Amino acid sequence: MDISAFTTDWFGLGGKNAIVTGGNTGLGEAFSVALAKGGANVFVPSIVDDDGSTLATVEAAGARYEFMQADITQPGTPKRVVDECVERLGSIDILVNSAGICPLGEVLEFGREKWDATVQVNLTAAFEMSYEAAQRMVPQRSGKIINICSMFSFLGGRLSPAYSATKHGIAGLTKAYCDELAEHNIQVNGIAPGYYATAITANTRSDPAASRRVLDHIPADRWGEPVDLMGAVVFLASRASDYVNGHILAVDGGYLVR
């Protein structure tokens, strides 16, 4: 293709329909808003009831917002979610597997109950959502699957063995799906956020010594903000990333280099 064919319009998402799991809270909400600002309609399945704030922000961006209260860990629910998205919006072009949990506990106290719950949400549900989305994307010969990974896709995970294991697993799933779906013009990639200023990190950030220990590992010398991730998800959801596949994009302020 002639390089003169490139245009910044390739970053636009007009006419696309996206599912963002857990897309009305935390970083998931940032992904939903980013895709909407790029022009995509957004379908959000979440166990957390919608208070209308994400709806207002998405609609202010000129996109359509659809919500479905659903527990994607329950058998059959991922298929119902994808089917409902297609019924309401007409297609599924983008899937962002954002829903996740991170129970904490020392190894000697971290038992099967916490382990199973984390695997169900972070890995099994993401697999089933991807499987159901692929059933639609392969026939249309297009699609983007974006898995939300973590720094713990690369590192250990003190006090979070299940979280670390599932985030390593989701990185592996990203590469495995890429290996088979790329020939169908479907790109499967991951985003690995670094340390962000969210409710989950509030206790660490409020402790000066603990916060400094984190910041000492970040060349940018600041906590990430949800807005720092929004460009990454738009890029990976857009035509501009059509030859990016099986990649885990760290958006971490440089954390991994230290």
User: Domain segments of the chain: what residues?
Assistant: 15-252
- For position 152, what pLDDT does the model report? 95
Q: For domain 15-252, give the CATH number.
A: 3.40.50.720
Catalytic residue among 163, 177, 195, 255: 163
Of 55, 130, 137, 26, whose CA–CA distance to 91 is shortest?
137
Residue type present at position 188 = V
Give pLDDT tens digits for 29-51: 999 999 999 999 999 999 999 89
Of 91, 88, 114, 85, whose CA–CA distance to 101 is shortest?
114
Report CA 4 to chain centroid distance, whole Å. Answer: 32
255 touches 195 (CB < 8 A): yes
Q: Please give the Cα distance from 56 to 230 (Å, whole number).
A: 18
Residue 176: CB atoms within 10 Å: 14
Of 170, 23, 38, whose CA–CA distance to 85 is shortest?
23
- For position 1, what pLDDT does the model report? 79
Give yes or no: 163 in active site.
Answer: yes
Of 235, 169, 165, 222, whose CA–CA distance to 194 is shortest?
222
Of 140, 195, 139, 150, whose CA–CA distance to 174 is shortest?
150
- For position 26, what pLDDT does the model report? 92
**For residue 51, how many C-alpha atoms fall within 13 Å in the half-sphere facing its CB?**
5
Low-confidence ranges of the chain (pLDDT < 70): none
